[in-house]
Amino acid sequence: MSEVPGSPVIGAICRPQVSPEEMLRAAREAEDAGLAELWLWEDCFLEGGLTSAAAILAATERMVVGIGLLPMPLRNVAITAMEVSTLARMFPGRLKVTVGHGVQPWMEQVGARVSSPMGLAREYLTALRRLLAGEHVTVAGRYVQLDDVMLGWPPVTPVPVLLGAIGPKSIALAGECADGVLLDADFSIDEARQAVAACLAARQEAGVDEPFEVALYQRFYRGPDAAAAVARDTREGGSPAGIVDDVEAVAERAQGFAAVGVGTVILMPSATETDPADYLRMVATEVAHRLRA
């Protein structure tokens, strides 16, 4: 993260409500339009995040693919490391990965809910980053158990591992144990400023002196029901931070986030967006043009 804020990287989400075949078509069109980063997430029980990322990386040549996020309770950390490393070696420098606690009712639905999501996150992040660094890893934790595990094909280029965080404890843990943080779409600019400061303070206290990435989702909804959808989709306790139909306003908001330390702003369509490929093209051209201007 640069100490002198500039224009952020602008990415966009292809939501998992889009069918797999349509997602792949939209991704190809997004790269043709010049989109810098395409982000996916893994909702139960829709597309797999790593599977989707693999297909999109293979179908494109330049675009970075971010996964935000993979729920840690669902995935053994060794399997996650193997799959992430495979993609990182096939497509070096084009993959970003975020892990998170998962939606707790879904985790319970599949028998994967843990009693201490924070405890799992600390063990998981530490083990995953060590595995991706090519280390022999032995862990006898409450949730993560590894006995002298080492990847046969660790990444040649570093793969950033971010933590999806909302609450203060998760934000601090991201600063301490992850390569970055992914903030959700309900953060205002002032709340993002506070979160960035908290991450960096936790990092300093832990004695970590490595680059740290800050990414943030931002709702940018289109259409006649967009304003109502922003209000409806805001989580309890969150800020209704969405932008409706105004390219100039969303570009200005993105620049505001950059000024408080957010390096990547990822624009999110509504769940009722009717043309995901057009949405990605719009972000790649109109929003990015406003920022360059």
Residue 3 reports pLDDT greater than 50: no
Q: Which domains does the chain have, with CATH numbers?
A: 9-292 (3.20.20.30)
Distance, CA of 71 to CA of 53 (rounded, Å): 15
pLDDT tens figures, 55-96: 999 999 999 999 999 999 999 999 999 999 999 999 999 999
Exposed e or buried b per residue across 82-108, where buried means at least 16 C-beta atoms within 10 angstroms of its C-beta: bbbbebbeebeebbbbbbbbbeeebbe
The reported pTM is: 0.95
Long-range contacts of 166-173 (CB under 8 A, 24+ apart): 166/235, 168/198, 169/118, 170/101, 170/118, 170/121, 171/195, 171/198, 171/199, 171/202, 172/198, 172/199, 172/201, 172/202, 173/118, 173/121, 173/122, 173/125, 173/202
Percent of the chain with pLDDT over 70: 98
Token pair 């924070």: residue: 118
pLDDT category at 118 given cuts 50, 70, 90 is very high
Give residue 4's pLDDT: 35
At residue 151, φ and ψ (nearest 5 deg) are: -70, 135
Residue 293 reports pLDDT greater than 90: no
